[in-house]
């Protein structure tokens, strides 16, 4: 039986081209995108050759070295960022539907992403006209100031789980600081990046300030990381790829920011309401089908409430409405593509072979409406051991493991037993315990009695193999700047260091 879906309002059967030096250009090849809700072709997009990547880099280099953008006042750059934000808001419905069609997430999630995207541009527009720099009290007749200046050309590589929002996280602070950019969206989810290019063209962003090149890692990402004309590379994705990019960046010792994911713990103590904890646990792992770098993929639960927690979480997980993202009743959509679906199913098989107890899920939902889409049911493993691969490795799907602990010290030890350190949470009514445990978590983003609430104003990044540096907040802006000291002698006289 044919799959029946809510008909999309947005038009995808159109040209999706590269944007280089202020012009839309055909690529050297084409890629067919697949709608993850159906497993059927969605549209075709252009993909760049290495030569076109070099052209984009040269355009950004020219725009930085000779163009108006780095020489504008902060207020002028802020004006452009605000116009971009306004245009995103004006096209929010279309952009959200594009995200859902291309990436699979429920429309209600996509709408939040688009609103956050506009806010990110506005935040940095507002940040850059605030006081900055330092004046240092040094011995007369010198006057010394410390200023921040743009780095130069920034190569930016973004993932497929939050396509437009991740573009904003990288572009907005980079542009605010006065840099020029070459953005590589994921080859799987490039549609909203192209629409963003069209918006930037509409607001008449100067040519070459942003260039958007579509394609895979070896063809587009690697040349960006290796190019000596690129001054900074920012990447969000896997540890494996991050290490490759970091090594390639050594060509000219370019600045590097890496956000590389996690295996984040949610620690639940017995004094906290179990039903509320379960509610947060569902949100922590099944939001965006678990395709979130900060997902709460490890539940660490006190022994006395462990059985109750697992039972209640399984009962509610079974009731999550899985389906196409455009369907109004859908609470969890498909995974982004067939490769990711197979990866998740392989990990589920690995968990069972390792001896973990499969409580619920572990399969694909059945029914005509799922067609050939890339769905996996919400999955829970219990009775796991710390050395199991499903406990240590990032699955990036709707799969959670539940561990038990007896003491506070054991809870902290289990939480920190990971190569990652992106996020973590503590659930307890004991404020002293909350402060103690959350400070002991080796993670960059933490919560007490909450999960996933994050803010553009706050730094995003992690410890250990979760990456280098921070995005967002003032930290995200500083990451796109160089620090310079300026010393001015107000009374030049001969130094007299040498007698002759």
Residue 417's φ and ψ, nearest 5 degrees, are -80, 70
Query: What is the structure's pLDDT at 5?
Result: 56
Query: What is the structure's pLDDT at 8?
Result: 75
Stretch 470-491: mean pLDDT, rounded? 97
Q: Summarize pLDDT for 447-473 with one digit per residue, the tens.
A: 999 999 999 999 999 999 999 999 999
Stretch 180-184: mean pLDDT, rounded? 98
Is the confidence at residue 178, as pLDDT, over 70? yes
Instruction: Tell me which of 368 and 154 has the higher pLDDT.
Output: 154
Is the confidence at residue 483, as pLDDT, over 70? yes
Q: How confident is the model at residue 1 (pLDDT cuts 50, 70, 90)?
A: very low
Is the confidence at residue 264, as pLDDT, over 50? yes
By annotation, the residues acting in catalysis are 259, 293
Query: What is the structure's pLDDT at 68?
Result: 98
Stretch 229-247: mean pLDDT, rounded? 97
Q: Is 438:408 a contact under the CB 8 Å cutoff?
A: no
Average model confidence (pLDDT) across the chain: 97
Query: What is the structure's pLDDT at 500?
Result: 81
Q: Summarize pLDDT for 62-90 with one digit per residue, the tens.
A: 999 999 999 999 999 999 999 999 999 99
Query: What is the structure's pLDDT at 118?
Result: 98
Query: What is the structure's pLDDT at 70?
Result: 98
Q: Summarize pLDDT for 269-281 with one digit per residue, the tens.
A: 999 999 999 999 9
Is the confidence at residue 7, as pLDDT, over 90? no
Query: What is the structure's pLDDT at 449?
Result: 98
Q: How confident is the model at residue 335 (pLDDT cuts 50, 70, 90)?
A: very high
Is the confidence at residue 6, as pLDDT, over 80? no
- Percent of the chain as helix, strand, coil, to the nearest 5: 40, 20, 40
Per-residue burial over 462-481, b = 16 or more CB atoms within 10 Å of its CB, e = otherwise:
bbbbbbbbbbbbeebbbbbb
Helix ranges restricted to H, 178-290: 191-202, 222-226, 239-248, 274-286
Is the confidence at residue 254, as pLDDT, over 70? yes
Query: What is the structure's pLDDT at 4?
Result: 47
Q: Summarize pLDDT for 372-415 with one digit per residue, the tens.
A: 999 999 999 999 999 999 999 999 999 999 999 999 999 999 99
């Amino acid at each position: 039986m044919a799959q029946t879906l809510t008909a999309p309002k947005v038009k995808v059967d159109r040209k999706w081209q590269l944007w280089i030096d202020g012009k839309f250009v055909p690529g050297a090849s084409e890629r067919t995108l697949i709608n993850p809700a159906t497993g059927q072709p969605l549209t075709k997009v252009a993909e760049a050759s290495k030569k076109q990547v070099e052209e984009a880099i040269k355009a950004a280099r020219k725009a930085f070295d000779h163009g108006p953008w780095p020489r504008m006042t902060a207020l002028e750059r802020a004006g452009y960022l605000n116009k971009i934000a306004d245009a995103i808001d004006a096209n929010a419905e279309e952009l959200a539907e594009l995200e859902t069609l291309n990436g699979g997430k429920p429309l209600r999630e996509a709408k939040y992403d688009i609103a956050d995207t506009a806010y990110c541009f506005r935040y940095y527009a507002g940040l850059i006209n605030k006081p900055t720099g330092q004046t240092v009290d040094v011995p007369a007749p010198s006057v010394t100031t410390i200023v921040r200046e743009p780095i130069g050309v920034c190569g930016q590589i973004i993932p497929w789980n939050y396509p437009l929002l991740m573009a904003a996280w990288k572009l907005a602070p980079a542009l605010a600081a006065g840099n020029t950019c070459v953005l590589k969206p994921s080859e799987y989810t490039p549609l909203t990046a192209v629409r963003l290019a069209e918006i930037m063209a509409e607001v008449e962003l100067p040519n070459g300030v942003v260039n958007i090149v579509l394609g895979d890692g070896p063809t587009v990402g690697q040349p960006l990381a290796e190019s000596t004309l690129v001054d900074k590379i920012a990447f969000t994705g896997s540890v494996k790829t991050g290490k490759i990019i970091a090594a390639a960046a050594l060509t000219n010792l370019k600045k590097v920011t890496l956000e590389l994911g996690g295996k984040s713990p949610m620690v639940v103590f017995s004094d906290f309401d179990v039903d509320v904890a379960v509610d947060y646990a569902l949100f922590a792992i099944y939001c965006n089908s678990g395709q979130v770098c900060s997902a709460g993929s490890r539940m660490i639960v006190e022994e006395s409430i462990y059985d109750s927690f697992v039972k209640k979480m399984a009962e509610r997980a079974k009731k999550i409405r899985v389906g196409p993202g455009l369907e109004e009743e859908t609470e969890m959509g498909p995974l982004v593509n067939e490769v990711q679906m197979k990866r998740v199913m392989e990990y589920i098989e690995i968990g069972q072979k390792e001896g973990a107890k499969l409580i619920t899920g572990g399969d694909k939902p059945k029914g005509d409406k799922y067609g050939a889409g890339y769905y996996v049911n919400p999955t829970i493993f219990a009775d796991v051991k710390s050395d199991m691969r499903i406990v240590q490795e990032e699955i990036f799907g709707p799969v959670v493991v539940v561990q038990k602990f007896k003491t506070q010290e054991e809870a902290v030890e289990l939480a920190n037993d990971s190569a990652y350190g992106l996020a973590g949470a503590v659930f307890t009514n004991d404020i002293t315990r909350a402060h103690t445990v959350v400070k002991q978590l080796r993670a960059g983003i933490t919560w007490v009695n909450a999960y996933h609430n994050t803010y553009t104003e706050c730094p995003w990044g992690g410890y250990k193999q979760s990456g280098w540096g921070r995005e967002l907040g003032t930290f995200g802006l500083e990451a796109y700047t160089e620090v310079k000291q300026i010393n001015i002698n107000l009374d030049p006289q001969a130094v007299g260091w040498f007698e002759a």
